[in-house]
Structure 1
Amino acid sequence: MLKIGIIGYGTIGEDVAQFLLKGEAGAARLEAVLVRDETRFARAASAEYVITDKEELFFAKRMDVIVECAGHEAVRTYGETVLSSGADLILVSVGALADEALQESLMAKAAECGRKIIVPSAAIGGLDRIAAGSVGPMEEVTLITRKPVKAWYGTLVERQVNLAALSEPYCAFEGAARDAARLFPESVNVSAALSLAGIGFDRTKVKVFADPGINHNTHEIEAKGKFGQIKLQIRNTPSDRNPKTGYIVAMSIIKTIRNLNSPFVIGI
């Protein structure tokens, strides 16, 4: 039975916790959740697991796998500590690895501790194909992300344009994935995952749109290389509680945990 911890109890963290409690991840048990202020979650307290803002108590649970779903700063603050504690790290805020120094330090710590950093597909798809294709020469990888207007409130896009007045798609960004991941830490983690699977942050090209004509978060991927060509469009249903993310993210994390404890694994 895998002992699971979660860092962060927002939309994704709560959804992951509920899936775990329902047994959707197979032989895995939720042990603890680390939050900034445990008093905010008094009503969510359970005899089945601990919700705490005390790092010592959380890491004392000696978990096998810890899921980070609390943002880039949480990756910087807790990434190495997770690996040093003897747990594998499932990384949701993968855009944090656009910081080369952070990526190198986490990779080094994982190797030193004999642990793994695991990036789930989350809101994107086709990472298995992109990663396989990157074994041979890969010419290009591009990503076009479109999200409804409501997904961009509270982000850089809100400062660029009057979102309420948009009547047609607005291109908020065009450039390299490294810059996209830094500028939109809550919204374009998919560009980071795609970059790490394929040809890197600086060669992966990204366009980001706020689109008043859609109701789903969409991602269009195109890649070419010796393997051939892939064109993939994904339409994710946004979460009612947080339109910046979709229900599929927590589902993908649960699938990843299930793979860790299952005798049969598909789609790697």
Structure 2
Amino acid sequence: METGSSTLRIGIAGYGHLGQYLVEKILKDGPGLGLILAFVWNRNSDKLKGVVPAELILEDLSCFADRRCDVIVEVCHPQIVRDFGLHFLSQSHFMVGSPSALSDPDLNQKLRQASLQYSRTLYVPSGALWGGQDIQRLNDSGILKALFIRMSKHPSCFRLTGDVLTDWTEGEGRRVLFRGSVAELCPLAPNNVNTMAAAAVAAGKLGFTGVQGEIVSDTALKDYHVVEVEVTGPDGFSVHTVRRNPAKLGAVTGSATYNSFWNSLLICKGHGGRVHLC
């Protein structure tokens, strides 16, 4: 939707917990807020049948343009960003629910170029990141010196590409799994560090290689995830925030992040031709 339009047609790619939440919210509350659901796609379309209205189910994601969306929201996997991101931006604004995909510098640059070329917005939701707009202001002012993020979760909540956590045992306590640049962390835990990826977008001058992160397994964290952000500026300026995000065992996404994502979606109303943290 360009600024001034009365309705926003939304396409949802992915029907996991977050996708389900967004679909239900749009169907229930969307009409009163100017949001209309244009399609829902899931890798396994059988999961949608009998739950999502048949006319809203998109069987083949490559046919997304037929639904004439204003914003397409990816909430499934970084691979969809790689495979379809440029195509999405050629037709609509695009909200990247898996911003860890942007750690690939080539893809990041191509998506930014496409956003500019087509005058579309590449939206990056803040998710569980607290103070993202403030980080962005420091970055844009040229006074952000360093940014560090630590994400601590119960081991059952991590989805790692390697075998780092295959030997964990209940009650083992706290274990640092990895510490390094967010560029290194994103391929290791693509589904767990989207908060860090959003921070790297906010801190654009530091970027994915300059922003530092740490992921921690802690068997004591059975009821919530912990996100700590340390911001460093000039002349001894610093901010340290700690966010406890309620989450069930095994949950990749904390419950408070769902509402955060919904509020981000409500902002997607025509900021064309740029990357926008929302």
SS at match of 1:136: coil
The answer as to whether partners of 2:181 and 2:210 remain within 8 angstroms in 1 is yes
The answer as to whether partners of 2:182 and 2:213 remain within 8 angstroms in 1 is yes
Post-superposition shift, 1:149? 2.2
Which position in structure 1 is the counterpart of 2:254?
246
Deviation sequence 1:175-233 (CA, Å, 0-9, x none)? 11101111100111111111111121111111110001112111100111139322111
Moved more, 29-38 or 63-72: 29-38
Post-superposition shift, 1:55? 2.7
Matching of residue 224 in structure 1 with residue 232 in structure 2 = yes
Post-superposition shift, 1:253? 2.4
SS at match of 2:68: coil
Matching of residue 208 in structure 1 with residue 215 in structure 2 = yes
The answer as to whether partners of 1:37 and 1:52 remain within 8 angstroms in 2 is no
Post-superposition shift, 1:4? 0.4
Separation in 2, partners of 1:15, 1:28: 15
Q: 2:186 aligns with which of 144, 167, 181?
A: 181
Which position in structure 2 is the counterpart of 1:234?
243
Separation in 1, partners of 2:269, 2:114: 24
Separation in 2, partners of 1:12, 1:31: 17
Post-superposition shift, 1:239? 5.3
**Against the structure 1 CA distance between its residues 260 and 52, is the aligned structure 2 distance closer, same or farther, given a 3 Å change threshold?**
closer
The correspondence of residues 101-140 of structure 1 with structure 2, limited to 5 A, is: 101-134=106-139, 135-140=141-146
Which position in structure 2 is the counterpart of 1:14?
20
- What TM-score results when the alignment is normalised by the length of structure 2? 0.86
The correspondence of residues 190-209 of structure 1 with structure 2, limited to 5 A, is: 190-198=195-203, 199-209=206-216
Post-superposition shift, 1:157? 6.6
Which position in structure 2 is the counterpart of 1:27?
34
The answer as to whether partners of 2:58 and 2:64 remain within 8 angstroms in 1 is yes
Which position in structure 2 is the counterpart of 1:76?
82
Separation in 2, partners of 1:182, 1:65: 26
Matching of residue 167 in structure 1 with residue 167 in structure 2 = no
The answer as to whether partners of 2:200 and 2:207 remain within 8 angstroms in 1 is yes
Identical counterparts, % of pairs: 24
Post-superposition shift, 1:124? 1.6
What is the one-letter code of the residue matched to 2:257? V
Gaps of 5+ in 2: 1-6, 271-276
What is the one-letter code of the residue matched to 2:109? E
The answer as to whether partners of 2:162 and 2:188 remain within 8 angstroms in 1 is no
Alpha-carbon RMSD = 2.2
What is the one-letter code of the residue matched to 1:46? P
Which position in structure 1 is the counterpart of 2:45?
38
What is the one-letter code of the residue matched to 1:96? A
Moved more, 253-262 or 68-77: 253-262
**Against the structure 1 CA distance between its residues 194 and 142, is the aligned structure 2 distance closer, same or farther, given a 3 Å change threshold?**
same
What is the one-letter code of the residue matched to 2:241? L
- What TM-score results when the alignment is normalised by the length of structure 1? 0.89
Post-superposition shift, 1:40? 3.1
**Against the structure 1 CA distance between its residues 45 and 161, is the aligned structure 2 distance closer, same or farther, given a 3 Å change threshold?**
closer
**Against the structure 1 CA distance between its residues 239 and 110, is the aligned structure 2 distance closer, same or farther, given a 3 Å change threshold?**
farther
Gaps of 5+ in 1: none
Aligned pair count? 260
The answer as to whether partners of 2:13 and 2:75 remain within 8 angstroms in 1 is yes
